[in-house]
């Protein structure tokens, strides 16, 4: 699978089927079930900025209950500890 980054994220069109994203990039890091059957999927890119400091770029897809992408967003968080663990 390919890694999600800003360039690949921008190339994914809104209103396309989310199953195409998982085929190309693998399963998301996690998802949240919102109201009305909407799911919010998250892919994370980790960038080490300095020793012990990591930038986490969250690529977020909101999908309809039919599985179509209805919204996209990017959030960036910088931290000194491992923020995201499974």
> What's the pTM value of the predicted model, to 2 decimals?
0.87
Q: How far apart are CA 43 and CA 10, in angstroms?
A: 13
Q: What is the pLDDT of residues 16-37, one digit of tens each?
A: 999 999 999 999 999 999 988 9
Q: In sequence order, which residues have a C-beta less than 8 Å from that of residue 21 and are 6 or more positions away? A: 12, 41, 61, 69
Q: Are 72 and 14 in contact (CB under 8 A)?
A: yes
Q: What is the pLDDT of residues 36-52, one digit of tens each?
A: 899 999 999 999 998 88
3-class secondary-structure state, position 30: strand
Q: How far apart are CA 34 and CA 51, in angstroms?
A: 36
User: What mean pLDDT value characterizes the chain?
Assistant: 92
């Amino acid at each position: 699978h390919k890694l999600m980054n800003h360039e690949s994220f921008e190339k994914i069109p809104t209103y396309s089927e989310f199953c195409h994203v998982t085929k190309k990039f693998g399963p998301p890091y996690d998802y949240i079930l919102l109201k009305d059957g909407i799911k919010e999927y998250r892919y994370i890119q980790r960038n080490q900025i300095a020793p012990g400091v990591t930038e986490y770029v969250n690529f977020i897809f909101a999908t309809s209950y039919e599985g179509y992408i209805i919204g996209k967003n990017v959030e960036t968080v910088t931290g000194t500890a491992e923020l995201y663990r499974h």
